[in-house]
Structure 1
Amino acid sequence: MGGQPIGLGRASLISNTSDEHRNLRESVAKLVAGYGRAYFQDVVAKGQKADALWADMGAAGFLGVHLPEEHGGGGGGLADLAVVIEEMAAQGCPMFMIVISPAICGSVLAAHGTPEQKQRYLPGIADGTFRMAFAITEPDAGSNTHKITTTAHRDGDGWRLRGQKYWTSGVDECQALLVVARDADPGPDGRNTLSLFIVPTDAPGLSFQQLDSALQLPEKQFTTFFDDVPVERIGLVGAEGEGLKQVFAGLNPERVAAACMANGIARYALARGAQYARERIVWKAPIGAHQGVAHPLAKAYIDVELARLMTMRAATMTDQGLDAAEAGNIAKFAAGDACVQALDQAIQVHGGNGLSNEFGLADLWFIGRMFKTAPVSREMVLNHIAQHSLGLPKSY
């Protein structure tokens, strides 16, 4: 099925930041390499889910490494989950569900869920037996969360949700959704605030339609429809009207997790590109002996390592309770660009073979390219840095 873990043949700058992370990285790499890129490609080609890999990751404690021990997690932090996500992708198996369910939903519930919600959902999220999707993006809202139109209408002691979401990843394999909705009734200040709700995926009135996406992943993308979907009081996360604050408990981990996946894909691509450049002989010499091949790979490696350093910095700042918004945005920006560069160069090194799925690179292209757009576009990252880091006037 799989084989030996993929690597560049030496420890990189941040691979061994601690004994714990080194051991964690090696353990994840060994488990995922047992499945390998071919397994992941086969699952995608057949329209199946990577359930076997997911189950083994959960059983090993890797999915919930950042969640509280009292709720079935490993008691670590985002930096630990960052290692797990990156190493999965570096072995050719970038699973979006680990970003969606443990990183986003798990982090939000751990920070803002009620004691009952934590007890009910976190153990399953940690061991992989319960998956939760995240529904925030809408067709007309984009990056502007304040323009969300999915609305929560009061209905007795609960609510009914009306509206639709877009690019809801993996909802077909989840047992519940974490939904961001606008309160239909204005608050004391006259504004319609946001709230977070947990909605079972078999709730009446909830339906979803698959999007035709270029992403070659086990997790499919959907438009999700809410037609008077009932939500009981126990489905409200934290306090009503505080959804915007609660969402940010998941958005920065999402940025860091996305950067980790991009960095892992880049590492996989560089390892494949470097191996091919060492082994491919043209005119009696390995093509990697030529600077026209070697230098672009080396440049890509430098940019990937810089992105990895900033990603780990953002994760560590989050774990320390510091404001990691700037670091998280920079990490995601740098990782997205570095991933595309690494993939492009690895494909180029392979020549025509780079376009063959047999070599495991071409079908990663749109996944890597996505990180320049999602979970936040590079333009919005630049807006954030211009305004908050450089003190420039707000442009939007």
Structure 2
Amino acid sequence: MAGLIQDTDEHKAIRESVAGIASRYGQQYFLERGRAGEGIEELWKDLGAAGLLGVHLPEAYGGGGGGMAEAVVVVEELAAHGMPMLIWVISPAICGSIVAIHGSEELKQRWLPGIADGSQKMAFGLTEPDAGSNSHNVKTTARKTDTGWVLSGSKYYISAIDQCDALLVVARDGDLSTPEKSTLSLFVVPTDSKGLSYQEIDTSIVSPDKQFTVFLDEVEVGAEALIGQAGNGLRQVFDGLNPERILVGAICGGVGRYAIDKAVAYAKERKVWSTAIGAHQGIAHPLAESHIAVELSRLATALSAQQFDAGEPAGEAANIAKFSASEAALKALDQAIQTHGGNGLSHEYGLSELWFVTRLMRTAPVSREMVLNFVAQTSLGLPRSY
């Protein structure tokens, strides 16, 4: 189906490579693994072997040397085949980007090649039960010792840690923080560390990437676990959060494409009283409107990636991309389900099971309300509301 995005030759090749691998597995593979609580390791390894997990990471560490623009193509195309991969956003994008930008040479050598080829994964530990959207209110604490650091606290709604070799932990630096102001430091903590445990959160999301509460009970790590400079964590976090927002925009753009493609195909084939239902404006107009919204969100996502790759401030564009894409995808998915009638709720058609993971994108990684706060205050210059 024609769209507004015009791929470069390189992006077209990446998109075709992703499509080829995704088509070999099919959406039912992804959904069946999600329903059964099983992983997608075969697919993940194939993507890694094709260089599609590290397209944005430095070539010196096994990556493709590209940027967020290339990552957007990969993540969107996977979602356009019915495979919205949260772990791609978390491990290669958030964690990979933070380690690549701020990590020591030792951390880069230790983790980036494995993240790029798919042999290793890293979870991201920011969210906490009581901190919510307020990253400044992180309670998980890191204290310096003679040999490294000790971390204590808990993290909430941590995606796919059961698949991961390490957790990138955002912690309150107990030595540098004051009662008035929390100072953050970041650490790479192996998931087999003594004192680290996790418990699955029972959700309605059908995905191979499950959600967990993570407990850190006096977890000891060496000095090499620190990312960059102690106390510089807030800036480091934001170097991961903009890629996260951009790639959530990409996931939603792909889901929107998938939903509309399914609905259009059904509307052309399904006949009632000898007429294809797509001939009726009650079906055609909502799908056309959904297509317009999805395409506009894809343009916003592409622009945000372009700004990020150019080293320009990308916060506004990344937030707008995430907001517009999540709204458009949810509307497109709902309209696709409606177009299918009762079949929209059948597992055979692969639409209804995408609902909750798509609905999640309106809330995570940043809620639509916090995006609106950001735009109101930063873009429009209105007084702070919190």
- How high is the TM-score relative to the length of structure 1? 0.96
Instruction: Give the corresponding residue for 2:234.
Output: 244
Q: What residue identity is the alignment partner of 2:45? A: A
How far, CA to CA, are the matches of 1:70 and 1:321 in structure 2?
Answer: 20
2:213 corresponds to 1:207: no
2:22 corresponds to 1:22: no
Q: Contact 2:93–2:243 (CA<8 Å) still a contact in 1?
A: yes
1:376 equivalent among 366, 369, 374 = 366
Unaligned stretches of 5+ residues in structure 2 = none
Unaligned stretches of 5+ residues in structure 1 = 1-7
Q: What residue identity is the alignment partner of 2:4? A: L
Instruction: Give the corresponding residue for 1:225.
Output: 215
Instruction: Give the corresponding residue for 2:379.
Output: 389
SS of the aligned residue for 1:371 comes to helix
Instruction: Give the corresponding residue for 1:344.
Output: 334
2:250 equivalent among 260, 268, 271 = 260
How far, CA to CA, are the matches of 2:287 and 2:134 in structure 1?
Answer: 37
2:161 corresponds to 1:152: no
SS of the aligned residue for 2:385 comes to coil
2:305 equivalent among 293, 306, 315 = 315
SS of the aligned residue for 2:168 comes to strand
How far, CA to CA, are the matches of 1:309 and 1:225 in structure 2?
Answer: 40
Q: Contact 2:102–2:236 (CA<8 Å) still a contact in 1?
A: yes
How far, CA to CA, are the matches of 2:289 and 2:47 in structure 1?
Answer: 33
1:104 equivalent among 82, 94, 109 = 94
2:174 equivalent among 177, 184, 206 = 184
Cα distance, 1:190 vs. partner?
7.4
How far, CA to CA, are the matches of 1:249 and 1:388 in structure 2?
Answer: 18
SS of the aligned residue for 1:137 comes to coil
Cα distance, 1:186 vs. partner?
3.0
Task: List aligned pairs for 1:258-337, cutoff 5 A.
Answer: 258-337=248-327
Q: What residue identity is the alignment partner of 1:271? A: D
SS of the aligned residue for 2:338 comes to helix
Q: What residue identity is the alignment partner of 1:221? A: Q
2:103 corresponds to 1:113: yes
How far, CA to CA, are the matches of 1:187 and 1:223 in structure 2?
Answer: 25
Cα distance, 1:154 vs. partner?
2.0
Q: Contact 2:173–2:185 (CA<8 Å) still a contact in 1?
A: yes
- Identical positions, percent: 57
Instruction: Give the corresponding residue for 1:61.
Output: 51
Q: Contact 2:176–2:231 (CA<8 Å) still a contact in 1?
A: no
Q: Contact 2:186–2:226 (CA<8 Å) still a contact in 1?
A: yes
How far, CA to CA, are the matches of 1:54 and 1:249 in structure 2?
Answer: 25
How far, CA to CA, are the matches of 1:243 and 1:292 in structure 2?
Answer: 51
Instruction: Give the corresponding residue for 1:31.
Output: 21
Instruction: Give the corresponding residue for 1:81.
Output: 71
Q: What residue identity is the alignment partner of 2:360? A: M
Q: Contact 1:78–1:319 (CA<8 Å) still a contact in 2?
A: yes
Cα distance, 1:155 vs. partner?
2.0
Task: List aligned pairs for 1:353-372, cutoff 5 A.
Answer: 353-372=343-362
Once structures 1 and 2 are overlaid, which stretch shifts more, 155-164 or 69-78? 155-164
2:124 equivalent among 117, 125, 134 = 134
2:165 corresponds to 1:175: yes
SS of the aligned residue for 1:195 comes to strand
2:62 corresponds to 1:72: yes
Cα distance, 1:31 vs. partner?
1.2
**Over the residues paired in the alignment, what is the CA RMSD in angstroms?**
1.1
2:4 corresponds to 1:13: yes
SS of the aligned residue for 1:372 comes to helix
- How high is the TM-score relative to the length of structure 2? 0.98
Q: Contact 1:99–1:257 (CA<8 Å) still a contact in 2?
A: yes
CA gap of 1:54–1:394, structure 2 versus 1, over 3 A, is same
2:120 corresponds to 1:94: no
How far, CA to CA, are the matches of 1:369 and 1:186 in structure 2?
Answer: 38
Cα distance, 1:58 vs. partner?
0.3
Q: What residue identity is the alignment partner of 1:232? A: G
1:166 equivalent among 143, 156, 160 = 156
1:51 equivalent among 14, 17, 41 = 41
Once structures 1 and 2 are overlaid, which stretch shifts more, 127-136 or 183-192? 183-192
Once structures 1 and 2 are overlaid, which stretch shifts more, 188-197 or 361-370? 188-197
Q: Contact 2:142–2:171 (CA<8 Å) still a contact in 1?
A: yes
Q: Contact 1:185–1:192 (CA<8 Å) still a contact in 2?
A: no
How far, CA to CA, are the matches of 2:54 and 2:245 in structure 1?
Answer: 18
How far, CA to CA, are the matches of 1:187 and 1:354 in structure 2?
Answer: 52
Instruction: Give the corresponding residue for 2:183.
Output: 193
Cα distance, 1:188 vs. partner?
9.1
Cα distance, 1:137 vs. partner?
0.1
Q: Contact 2:103–2:228 (CA<8 Å) still a contact in 1?
A: yes
Deviations 1:353-386 (A, max 9, x none): 0011111000000111111111100000000001
Aligned length: 386
